[in-house]
A = this chain, B = another copy of it.
């Protein structure tokens, strides 16, 4: 690939995609900028045209990942052809398939970077917290719909249930990565839907 033939926006996107994959596979510290540049054939000067530093690159990667994931979340959690509870279930099943296809490597970029970078970079920590809070709102909205329809327990409130749902999901994703098995995800799905959410 030669950066000279790429329009500017494409070069930036190519860098974000390659950086996102590298940070998902190896984390922030283990990702070398030069390595990312080499993998997509973009010169160093171009990198500093788009990003001030590695931290700034990671900030943009988090925002890029959020954009993609939020679009996916909106598609799944606003799917009016199925009930709210089924939408949440579809989200978990789709993610599980993806994690299985990755052979239980990588995990969740937001979870990974939170563990690695929350004490190292205030800029990244604040962005990660912002993204996670936004995702939680999407889940809470879907849970509230399910509560109104009477298919999800009415107590506790949707925000609290969404927090438990996402915390337990992030924990299960971490354990899938740690055990190299989707069993923790299946366990989460069975318990969360059959015993925590369903009326």
Residues of A near any B CB (own CB < 8 A): 25-27, 29-30, 105-107, 111-112, 114-116, 118-120, 125, 128-129, 132, 153, 155-156, 160-161, 163-164, 166-172, 174-175, 177-180, 184, 187-188, 190-192, 194-196
Contacts and interface: CB of A to CB of B under 8 A. Distances in A.
Contacts of A25: 119
27 contacts: A26-B120, A27-B29, A27-B115, A27-B116, A29-B29, A29-B30, A30-B120, A111-B174, A114-B174, A114-B178, A115-B116, A115-B174, A118-B177, A125-B178, A128-B178, A129-B178, A132-B175, A156-B194, A160-B190, A160-B191, A164-B187, A167-B174, A167-B175, A167-B188, A170-B174, A174-B174, A195-B196
A156 B186 CA distance: 14
Contacts of A170: 170-171, 174-175
Contact of A177 (B115, B160, B167): B115
Given A29-B30, A155-B195, A164-B188, 15 more contacts: A27-B115, A30-B120, A105-B118, A105-B119, A111-B174, A115-B174, A125-B180, A160-B191, A163-B175, A164-B191, A167-B171, A167-B188, A170-B170, A171-B171, A174-B174
